[in-house]
């Protein structure tokens, strides 16, 4: 059944799912230069996620130090971040990290912007990307809509890419850890004691202050976690 969207003096017919309609509306907003070039987003509107590399860490059972994968979720409005390093990514790990981040923030943004990495996206598409079923199920449980960045659109995830670089250049520079748990403890300490209380360079405001403004606009967490709500994590 066709759905209709009106923007300005134009009306569009749209035969698709509700989440696709939401992505379509966002794409229309970006075609307006005043919207596309805007630097700020509404509180609770968007989170950005990506992987980088953490600091050298002792690999269990060896004498070798390796760099684990660094997952970061950044709230676009306040720049508040969730960071965690893992040795190996998978579809399950990617989905679980999102759930941990939502629980950490105490709420959920309406959209999650990500790369078209295999853990999240099977087939890229502007309006109807095919998501990995587990990832799609976790986002649906929390009421968030995935908004994969277009290929060759380097500015779309600028906030989380900056957060990863900032973490590497500040929190992790020159450090190495004896365990992945130690690195995660340090990242949490650094976020709470330094990153969240800093004055954001461009905004000229404290990150935590902006997060307190944003938090009431985050979607309410479901009472149960994904697995408690009869969802199933399967290792992959």
Task: Determine phi and psi for 166, rounding to 5 degrees.
Answer: -65, -40
- What pLDDT does residue 14 have? 37
Q: What are phi and psi of 177, to 5 degrees?
A: -130, 150
Question: What is the rounded average pLDDT of the residues 74-97?
Answer: 96
**What would the DSSP string read from start to end of 41-110?**
--TTSEEEEEEEE---EEPTTSS-EE--EEEEEEETTT--EEEEEES---HHHHHHHHHHHHHHHTSB-S
Complete domains list, the chain, with CATH? 1-38 (no CATH), 43-217 (3.30.420.10)
pLDDT greater than 70 at residue 72: yes
SS3 114: strand
Q: What is the pLDDT of residue 38?
A: 46
Burial class (CB in 10 A: 0-12, 13-18, 19+), 152: exposed
Give the chain's mean pLDDT: 84
Residue 12 predicted with pLDDT over 90: no
What is the Cβ-side half-sphere exposure of residue 11, based on CA atoms within 13 angstroms?
3
- How far, in Å, CA of 135 to CA of 233, rounded? 10
In this structure, are residues 41 and 29 in contact, taking their beta carbons and an 8 Å threshold? Answer: no
pLDDT tens digits, one per residue of 167-212:
999 999 999 999 999 999 999 999 999 999 988 766 679 999 999 9
Match 């709420």 to its residue by tokens. 107
- Note the pLDDT of residue 21: 44
Q: Rounded to the nearest 10 degrees, what angle do helices 91-105 and 133-142 cross at? A: 10
Residue 44 has pLDDT above 50, yes or no: yes
What pLDDT score does 151 carry? 62
Mean pLDDT of 50-74: 97
What is d(CA 106, CA 118) in angstroms, rounded to the nearest whole number?
A: 27
C-alpha 99/C-alpha 139 separation (Å) is 8
pLDDT tens, position by position, 31-41: 444 434 345 68
């Amino acid at each position: 059944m066709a759905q209709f969207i009106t923007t300005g003096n134009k009306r569009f017919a749209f035969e698709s799912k509700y989440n696709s309609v939401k992505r379509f509306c966002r794409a229309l907003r970006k075609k307006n230069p005043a919207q596309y070039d805007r630097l700020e987003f509404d509180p609770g509107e968007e989170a950005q996620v990506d992987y980088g590399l953490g600091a050298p860490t002792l690999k269990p059972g060896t004498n070798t130090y390796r760099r684990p994968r660094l997952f970061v979720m950044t709230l676009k409005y306040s720049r508040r971040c969730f960071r965690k390093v893992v040795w190996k990514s998978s579809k399950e790990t990617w989905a679980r990290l999102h759930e941990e981040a939502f629980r950490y923030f105490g709420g959920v943004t309406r959209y999650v912007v990500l790369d078209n990495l295999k853990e999240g996206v099977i087939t890229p598409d502007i309006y109807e990307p095919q998501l990995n079923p587990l990832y799609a199920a976790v986002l649906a449980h929390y009421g968030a809509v995935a908004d994969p960045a277009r290929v060759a659109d380097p500015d779309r995830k600028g906030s989380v890419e900056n957060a990863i670089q900032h973490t590497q250049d500040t929190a992790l520079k020159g450090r190495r850890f004896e365990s992945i748990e130690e690195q995660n403890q340090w990242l949490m300490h650094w976020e709470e004691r330094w990153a969240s209380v800093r004055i954001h360079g461009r905004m000229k405001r404290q990150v935590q202050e902006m997060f307190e403004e944003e938090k009431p606009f985050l979607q309410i967490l479901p009472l149960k976690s994904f697995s408690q709500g009869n969802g199933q994590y399967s290792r992959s």
